[in-house]
Amino acid sequence: MIDLAGIEQMASELESAWGKIAETTAIKGTGRKISAPFLFRALTWTAQPLLRLLGARFVGLEHIPRRGPAIVAANHLSHVDPLYIITAIRRATHYLTKDDHFQHRHTGWFMRGTGQIKTARESGASEALSSAIDILNSGNVLGIFPEGTRSKRTEAPFLLPGKTGVARVASSRPNVPVIPIAHRGTREKMIPNTDKFPKLLKPATFTFGRPITWLEWLGDAQGGGQSVDSLNRLARQDEAQIRAQHAKLCRKFTDQLMGSLLALGAP
């Protein structure tokens, strides 16, 4: 018989041990409350059926939790990627978006209308990651493209190396599920630096993978490979050593996440 009480106790001890490390590494939010505007609510119930009729296919949507904070991490092929992911999820979903997307007429209305979060390049990554924590603290879904930008490669493989921002956010909210999303076809809908308008009739498939939290990954032998004892030992080290080990864990988490996107079919 499975010892559920023992498993829960171990998970609790792992969470407590990680909490000591997070006192040094966790990203803090700004306290801003983030909610979805009316246009987003309208899109959630109208756009997904329409996009399905126009050739979009969504697989594994049951992996998106119905409530509570979550992180969705997808490969990035085209400007239309957020539109499909946001409307498929049917929950308040916010991406951190470069400020210049708000300045263009053909993208600015969508960014503002769906409650996407403007980030200024001059402010650096710190402000953006704090805004990511605000999204999660508001109980909403945070959308992240781990590659950091659209892939502009002209032939496969299109997937770029992942940046560790997604891991830094996940490690700051270690009980929030991270759901990988791999998609094909959106590049053909709107080719980077070529198409000005999307070709909506082109087919595309979005595959949503199983969720995993930072804590689940951290204690998995094939993931972070950490134990309560190893985390307690790390917590007794100085700040520089804690941050260095955290950076290594974030790199490993990110690399395995990118591997999951490949396994799910990211081109």
The domains of the chain are located at: 28-263
> Looking at the domain 28-263, which fold is it?
Glycerol-3-phosphate (1)-acyltransferase (3.40.1130)
How long, in residues, is the chain? 267
Which pLDDT band, with edges at 50, 70 and 90, does 94 fall under? confident
User: In whole angstroms, what separates CA 38 from the centre of its chain?
Assistant: 23
Cα–Cα dist 155/82, whole Å: 22
Determine if the pTM surpasses 0.75.
Answer: yes
Average pLDDT of the chain?
Answer: 85
Q: pLDDT for 235-265, tens place per residue?
A: 999 999 999 999 999 999 999 999 999 999 9
Sorted by sequence, the CB contacts under 8 Å of residue 198 that are 6+ apart come out as 78, 79, 80, 189, 190
Q: Does pLDDT of 53 surpass 90?
A: no
Instruction: Provide the b/e sequence for 48-70 (b: ≥16 CB within 10 Å).
Output: beebeebebebbbeebbeeeebb
Helix, strand, or coil (residue 206): strand
Q: pLDDT for 131-175, tens place per residue?
A: 899 999 999 999 999 998 888 888 889 999 999 999 999 999 999
Give the HSE-up count for residue 149: Cα atoms under 13 Å, Cβ half-sphere.
4
Q: Does pLDDT of 1 surpass 50?
A: no
- Percentage of residues in the chain having pLDDT higher than 90: 56
C-alpha torsion sign, points 51, 197, 153, 247: negative
Sorted by sequence, the CB contacts under 8 Å of residue 168 that are 6+ apart come out as 25, 27, 129, 250
Q: What is the pLDDT of residue 122?
A: 47
| Over residues 213-217, mean pLDDT | 97
Q: What is the pLDDT of residue 103?
A: 57
User: In whole angstroms, what separates CA 73 from the centre of its chain?
Assistant: 3
Q: Does pLDDT of 229 surpass 80?
A: yes
Q: What is the pLDDT of residue 4?
A: 44
